[in-house]
Amino acid sequence: MGSYRSLVGGELPCSTALVILAALFAAIPASAAGQSSPLGNASPAELVRMVVAAEIAAAQDPSVKHQFRSLKQGPRGSQTKLYVETRDAMAGMVIAYDDRPVTPAELAGEEAHLQGLLDHPELLRRKHAQEKEDADRTIRMIKAFPDAFFYEYEGTETATAEYGKEGDPLVRLRFRPNPNYNPPSRIEQALPGMQGTVLIDALRHRIAKIDGTLFKDVTFGWGFLARLEKGGHLLLEQSDAGDGSWEITRMKLDFTGKILLFKSFTVASDEILSDFRRVPANLTFAQGVDLLKAEQSKIAQNHVIAH
């Protein structure tokens, strides 16, 4: 999942970002029962182990970077944002709210934020360090998957334009927690509360779609104590970006919970990621900012906020 880097890019408030990550990666499956897949000779357990290895390799590959667009719908409306992955950190710029292009004042604010990072290298280094820390936590959770879940084979279906590589076969697995799994640290404590289904491209060893639901409350802590409440739901879709890499193209989250067990929070959003374009692996943050400004200017000239 190349967009692991995107999702931990430091663009969200810290506490909210950690809650979303916990919900997201709790849903990605991990170990399996011993039934066989019709695609190849691998059992579900073997297939998932290969998938986990491929996803980790993709997440850690520094050579794959993209410019892309995000349309995020939440309780307060929608936000359209441009992103570009750079060697220094993720750069992002809001270009519209509720399909309304940003005003000159709002655009100036976006540009001032980016310029502030350029003018203060210590802030950019801090942003990069936070992104790396979040990504390292994510990798730790992914590595736990082979011990955290059981699978049952449920059949196959065909990939669509929304997820997978369109037209290719996908293996459908149902996942549930392994009752004998004991999370080794707080990072993995969100894993045992999720169950659902996952679609896997068995030829490329990539995850195409996850649909998971919390069947019980889960408590975890990454420097703070938080609880995700029963009934939370996650829909995650991933597809071929057109250049051989895979990227997350949709993430729908609906979770409630408590931070420090008394402060309630709600995570309710539906985010569509699109228009992936490869950028150089050694792109600097300054060059990324220039790309964002050029793209924003082109969109403004056309008077169209495309999705």
The band of 307, judged by pLDDT with boundaries at 50, 70 and 90, is: low
Cα gap 113→4, rounded to integer Å: 23
User: Residue 91 in 3-state DSSP?
Assistant: strand
What pLDDT shows up at residue 224? 64
**What is the structure's pLDDT at 13?**
35
User: Residue 153: which of 212, 209, 197, 204 has the closest Cα?
Assistant: 197
pLDDT at position 1, please?
A: 52
163 contact partners, CB below 8 Å, separation of at least 6: 199, 208, 209, 237, 238, 239, 249, 250
Asked if 228 and 16 touch (Cβ cutoff 8 Å), the reply is no
Q: Can you tell me the mean pLDDT for 220-247?
A: 86
Look at residue 231 in the predicted model and tell me its pLDDT.
94
Give residue 40's pLDDT band: very low, low, confident or very high (50, 70, 90).
low
Mean pLDDT, the chain, whole residue set: 84
pLDDT tens profile 198-230: 999 999 999 999 898 999 998 876 556 788 899
Nearest to 25 by CA among 4, 48, 51, 2: 4
- Cα gap 124→119, rounded to integer Å: 9
